[in-house]
Structure 1
């Protein structure tokens, strides 16, 4: 009798990956449904409950129809599943959201679900009070599952194909696995996916639970603590109260969240499953070290600017003001560097202390730089920035000593010899994508400055930039329908990255 449940589990795992993901999100709809029932919001509860049942029925019918088909799994198919998940799954996720709100269009609901699933966190709704508590929980939950999805995909799909930042560290060509060169040692993609899921899900869920408990102990309410914990781990920046400024946890809560933001600086903070060459020690990891340097260095420059260039600022030079300004800058810098986008309650004190008139430019630059490879953070990624930095140092050395030969230092073993060249290619593709999206948004009537903020927010998956980078927050509801669809495309492109899309268009990947 024990063999039968195991065979049923194996049969379920043989289903198409997109179908399994669809089923997981259908089951997840019952979480806000149960919450809405507890708070006596029966209309919202019915919307999510029936949508979950409908989704499970569709998954069951399709699963039965393909149960006898012998599946063929490969890396190209899994990469295509990633793209299909971010494009088509929000069509289903938006149904209960639109039905629960009643006063929004389906396009707005689809936009919001794309934003959540890609962990962008762009808020298309005017005020948090407009949404029921269960809807806030649903948006944070979708982003949390989207972050978990990328955690797993980074190791099981992107790393074997030398994509997502791994093209800088491996010897294989982007979009081509090393296993292709050795047919006898080719791993089973589905088995690898199962092993990675079994190892990472407990870590991801455990860290989220720990952060939720710590926030509650700091004085935060239950729903806000859970939503903020899921947003920190997924780097989505989704909040039921509009950010950390209105949080009850205060400074203690921000300090706790700051510690968990460090998990988005490097994969080595929670796993070594993607380490192929080089050091597996965190203190030797270039991503983590350069991330800490930025988190400490940028606030230090803003702090020192108070005496160097901000003499006109009317701020008393007392210790409390100095600490508040430095902490506000450090938390906000860490938040936007990891593409989370939470703004510290003391960020205004940091601006007042430094006398900085255009803080949005700093936030835009941090978001473009991004967090660590194979984490939930978006952006260009710190490892690529580090590779370009090393290449710049080498070029400066050659200006002084043209005949010099550069050796491979211990700290550079994680990078391949032409890693800087591949990183530069990605950076140029990122710049071209940014230019194209900016032009398309401008063509549909979006002013240039707003178009630049929207394009960077989409490609770096840092939605809070839309409200905080400009002088005036951008109202997404006022955008034209084509502009919203362009932003959806930008968010998906920023999540998967341009190299992955190009790899999908390569005949060699499918032929192999």
Structure 2
């Protein structure tokens, strides 16, 4: 903790004193220049002007508010950054939707807002079913917002959620969710901003380098420049955004999918790219339970699917088609990895598995994988593999006690990461998640959405896996056809899924704001 005790001076000190939400507003305003420049290069001038004017206006407002806040100390306690994170997912998309709305010009502001919430929460659901309705600059902006949202979660996990034992860290911590270990939240606000700065200085180069590497590899594999960069950003952010309607429209083919598969491993465990949190205390990546459980699922589920499809292929005399068998297995393996990490890309060979055997893959399987989700403190959504591991370990221990009632626990090496009572906290989270899922489904049904459709929408929002809307049911679900209230409920589901209910409950605890 000594790393965060020295507060920088000068200009960096002024930036640290600014509210986190204001800093995010300034960063995203500056990022609007990227689609503005791209739109100018490819001669999409109306869209380019919308982003340029919005960037100038946003940066001007940021500069004026920043000057007004210069020298002021933050008023809120340790949960101030957490409140800023919540505001970034709720209010910041309204600002980000302005250039999108003006650049498109043929939609409502509500649709643009839903699109931006979906992007910044890395959900990746889109209101616009036809990708050709959006030009390149708008597609780039969607992917860029999602990419920044993923980076925000990388930084926030270590700098905001971990110190407060939220976001999955409550399973391994020794303090209650929403509290630091010392229960002293009044002295943490200045250090929290310094921590954010230092964590960002370490993680931003890693995040950018990985994205650049994947972009180059996809471009070498045959993808067009825009498609390659958007798919690269979408994989790192687990948003599943594509300007060509998915991987079936990509030119990199099987090679590109294999490269993306490798980069999806970063969403299984934070240990794949960082050791800056308490999740790295035991054994490294090889002993990491999240990584091992994730790999086990990625291997076991495709094997089961392949066996099912092989039996179907025997019935249609296609079992000797070796290339068809390979495409079927690879399509299953890639898609399982994609939905487990809540990315949501379906392999271009995913349909080959069904045509090879004549059997359809149930969408409920993909929904289950998305609900499990990826690793703690990664860009993946879902309930997180660490919580699943805590419940598994607790169940294993209970069965051991049935056989040996006098036995003493704690012998499992990986289980030493789980605090006493960690399984209970994980169970509480599962119950909160299930109740939230039920409430959102009922709320959607009250607006006239069919129950099955409402359930898929709720799962897609809470797991931040928007592509479920296209593959979980026999016919794709159209968000644009939903009523305004239903779209608002979906927005709430995406925010809850990204920030999680325990963090929302922490924000509603008055005594944590004192000091």
Normalising by the smaller structure, the TM-score range is: over 0.9
Report if aligned partners of 1:119, 1:143 keep a CA contact under 8 Å in 2: yes
- Residue of 384, 391, 394 corresponding to 1:388: 391
2:364 maps to which residue?
Answer: 361
| 1:12-411 equivalent positions in 2, closer than 5 A | 12-72=15-75, 74-181=77-184, 188-275=191-278, 278-308=281-311, 311-313=314-316, 315-353=318-356, 356-411=359-414
Q: How far apart, in 2, do the equivalents of 1:489 and 1:425 lie?
A: 21
Report if aligned partners of 1:179, 1:187 keep a CA contact under 8 Å in 2: no
1:469 maps to which residue?
Answer: 472
> SS of 1:413's equivalent?
helix
2:433 maps to which residue?
Answer: 430
> SS of 1:263's equivalent?
helix
> SS of 1:406's equivalent?
coil
Report if aligned partners of 1:467, 1:474 keep a CA contact under 8 Å in 2: yes
Report if aligned partners of 1:29, 1:138 keep a CA contact under 8 Å in 2: yes
User: 29-38 vs 274-283, which deviates more?
Assistant: 274-283
Q: How far apart, in 2, do the equivalents of 1:435 and 1:480 lie?
A: 20
User: 252-261 vs 310-319, which deviates more?
Assistant: 310-319
Q: How far apart, in 2, do the equivalents of 1:360 and 1:322 lie?
A: 21
1:364–1:354 distance in 2 versus 1, CA, 3 Å: farther
Normalising to structure 1: TM-score of the pair?
0.96
Per-residue deviation, 1:399: 2.7
Per-residue deviation, 1:16: 1.2
1:322–1:104 distance in 2 versus 1, CA, 3 Å: same
Q: Over residues 356-380 of structure 1, what are the superposed CA-to-partner deviations in whole Å (9 max), with x where a residue is unaligned?
A: 4342111000000000000000000
Q: Over residues 142-163 of structure 1, what are the superposed CA-to-partner deviations in whole Å (9 max), with x where a residue is unaligned?
A: 0000000000000000000000
Q: How far apart, in 1, do the equivalents of 2:452 and 2:188 lie?
A: 51
| 1:471-510 equivalent positions in 2, closer than 5 A | 471-510=474-513
Unaligned runs of 5+ in 1: none
Q: How far apart, in 1, do the equivalents of 2:397 and 2:285 lie?
A: 25
Q: How far apart, in 1, do the equivalents of 2:507 and 2:271 lie?
A: 28
Per-residue deviation, 1:74: 3.7
Normalising to structure 2: TM-score of the pair?
0.95
Q: How far apart, in 1, do the equivalents of 2:312 and 2:98 lie?
A: 53
Report if aligned partners of 1:303, 1:353 keep a CA contact under 8 Å in 2: no
Unaligned runs of 5+ in 2: 1-7
Report if aligned partners of 1:116, 1:146 keep a CA contact under 8 Å in 2: yes
Report if aligned partners of 1:303, 1:354 keep a CA contact under 8 Å in 2: no
Per-residue deviation, 1:84: 0.6
1:10 maps to which residue?
Answer: 13
Report if aligned partners of 2:154, 2:377 keep a CA contact under 8 Å in 1: yes
Please tell me the root mean square deviation across aligned C-alpha atoms, in Å. Answer: 1.8
Q: How far apart, in 2, do the equivalents of 1:9 and 1:281 lie?
A: 34
Q: How far apart, in 2, do the equivalents of 1:407 and 1:15 lie?
A: 45
User: 497-506 vs 403-412, which deviates more?
Assistant: 403-412
Per-residue deviation, 1:468: 1.0
User: 9-18 vs 362-371, which deviates more?
Assistant: 9-18
Report if aligned partners of 2:77, 2:186 keep a CA contact under 8 Å in 1: no
Report if aligned partners of 2:331, 2:347 keep a CA contact under 8 Å in 1: yes
2:3 maps to which residue?
Answer: none
> SS of 1:171's equivalent?
coil
Q: Over residues 398-448 of structure 1, what are the superposed CA-to-partner deviations in whole Å (9 max), with x where a residue is unaligned?
A: 233333332332121111121111110000000000000000000000001
Q: Over residues 227-267 of structure 1, what are the superposed CA-to-partner deviations in whole Å (9 max), with x where a residue is unaligned?
A: 00000000000000011111000000000000000000000
Q: How far apart, in 2, do the equivalents of 1:284 and 1:231 lie?
A: 28
1:456 maps to which residue?
Answer: 459
> SS of 1:462's equivalent?
coil
Q: How far apart, in 1, do the equivalents of 2:303 and 2:465 lie?
A: 23
Per-residue deviation, 1:59: 1.1
Per-residue deviation, 1:181: 5.0
Per-residue deviation, 1:75: 2.3
